[in-house]
Chains A and B, each alone.
Chain A
Amino acid sequence: MNTTLKLTPLHDAHVKAGARMVEFGGWDMPVQYRGILEEHRTVRSAVGLFDVSHMGEFEVDGEGALAALQTLTTNDVSALDVGQVQYSVLCYPEGGIADDLTISRLAGDRFMLTVNAANIDKDWAWVTGHAGGARWKNVSSATGLIAVQGPRAETLVGRLTETDVTTIAYYRFASASVAGVPTIVSRTGYTGEDGFELYVPAEATERLWNALLDAGSHDGVAPIGLGARDTLRLEMAYALYGNDIDQTTNPLEAGLGWIVKPKKGDFIGKDAIEKMRAAGVPRRLVGLEMADRSVARHGYPVSRDGRAIGVVTSGTYGPSVERSVALGYVETAHAVPGTDLRVEIRNQAKPARIVRTPFHPSRVKKPRAAA
């Protein structure tokens, strides 16, 4: 093992459980425990635990906090209630995406940002460079994060706390004691299933992890590696930073126009994004379904009638949809569901079709009123 890799508070637990460990964004992480397909099905049918402690958390507070976040991110942070979570992106002035993240409003003038593991240092430099008079605190290494995802997640987490977690709506959070551990219980995730992300003190992460495994044994709970995390998110067509979105992609191209709120005022990247909106978006991130089971992987060329029109950004065999699916950018003129095209796999032009996403229906607990 490369000794420079960073370790989460659950690293020993993964190794003891026999997980296969891989390098991911500078971290030594479990890619699988028993097998990616089995772990994927556990999350869709029961409940799975993910160690996502490698992700970064920044706290920002003070009078300037809201204004700083409004400048740094594309979504409208003023619309957030205390106890609510928002998906957003940090953009560069040219409109490219520095990172995607969630923002949780902890109090009127206090927020928590959850950022991608591989981007922690880059994001920290970026946000504190635009501090705007607010106080920033990088709490990444002090914070453990466990995602509990699947149809039995609510029952499992509910069993370990006095707090009524059934009343926590999608993209809302509550503070609770879970298995005696002070926890932020956030109804968020990256799988398309109902579930929670549990923010805990780093030193208590393993205690909570073990309590969840014990309490969920009758629910069929199991630890889930990054392999299944990727197949689960891909079936939902959730973008992965570094694969589907990065500094060269504009949020409008990535289908993230719904989190860009130009009416809120100025923010970094606004001019470039609005310029693209006015001129027309040149390419779109679309869902692709392969005709056979060969896997379209990152970087594979996409063509139509022999002409290059795009590139695959992520692909996998989808265990729930039982076919090979991918995300990729294609020229806007071709970005229409039902369009037949080709993905070049090992010098063969393999048939594929643009389809609507998600590939697999979402079962997140959305409030009925909001469509």
Chain B
Amino acid sequence: MATIPPELRYTRDHEWARQEGDRIRVGITAYAQEQLGDVVFVELPKLGAKVTQRQSFGVVESVKAVSDLFAPISGEVVELNAELPNAPEIVNQDPYGRGWMILIAPSNPGEWEQLLTAQQYEQFLAEGGH
């Protein structure tokens, strides 16, 4: 069973969101990276780009598949994971840590409450995850 850290929030598209002060860090879940297989490329927005909740902000490519990344929350991208271009495999190795993707300054912090809790996400996966 894929790990689901209790302190994070989740989307039905298998992104996670972590509150860090007034910023939100975003990545994909352990379940997502397992389903994708070996990640070979991550395409992220530019620094300063505006992202919208439930809209695509980038793409993750594994050997066999391409998947969109969906923003858990609306806001401005204030930091990108600079390690990803040269070491996309860290998404597989450490999805909740070194494999994070973007840091967002939220424009509508109330959206946080619309995200799944760890318990709800676990339930969602138990029901098939899609």
B58 to chain A minimum Cβ distance, whole angstroms, is: 10
Which residues of A (279-321) have their CB < 8 Å from a CB of B? 292-295, 297, 316-317
Instruction: Judge if A35 is at the interface, Cβ distance under 8 Å.
Output: yes
Closest to A35 in B: B38
- Scan A26-51; emit 1 where CB is below 8 A from any B CB, else 0: 00000110011100000000000000
Per-position contact with B for A320-338: 1 when CB-CB < 8 Å, else 0?
0000100000000000000
Decide: A36 near B63, CB < 8 A? Known: A227-B37, A295-B41, A324-B41. yes
- B94 at interface, CB cutoff 8 A: no
For the complex, count residues of B whose C-beta is within 8 A of A: 14
Q: Is the CB of B64 within 8 A of A227?
A: yes
**A35 to B40 CA separation, bound complex (whole angstroms):** 12
Decide if the interface of chain A is mainly helix, strand, loop or mixed. Answer: mixed
The answer to whether A317 and B40 touch (CB under 8 A), given A227-B64, A295-B66, is yes
A292 to B88, CA, bound (A): 12
Across-interface contacts of A293 in B (CB, < 8 A)? 40-41, 61, 85, 88
Q: Compute how far the CA of A37 lies from the CA of B91 in the bound complex, rounded to whole angstroms.
A: 14
Instruction: Known pairs A36-B38, A227-B37, A324-B40; list 14 more (Cβ under 8 Å).
Output: A32-B37, A35-B92, A36-B63, A37-B89, A293-B40, A293-B61, A293-B88, A294-B41, A295-B61, A297-B66, A316-B63, A317-B40, A317-B61, A317-B63
What are the 9 tightest A-B residue pairs by CB atom distance, in nearest-first order?
A: A317-B40, A293-B41, A37-B38, A36-B63, A295-B61, A294-B41, A36-B38, A35-B38, A227-B64
**A interface, CB within 8 angstroms of B:** 20, 31-32, 35-37, 227, 231, 292-295, 297, 316-317, 324, 346
B residues contacting A by CB (< 8 A) are 37-38, 40-41, 43, 59, 61, 63-64, 66, 85, 88-89, 92
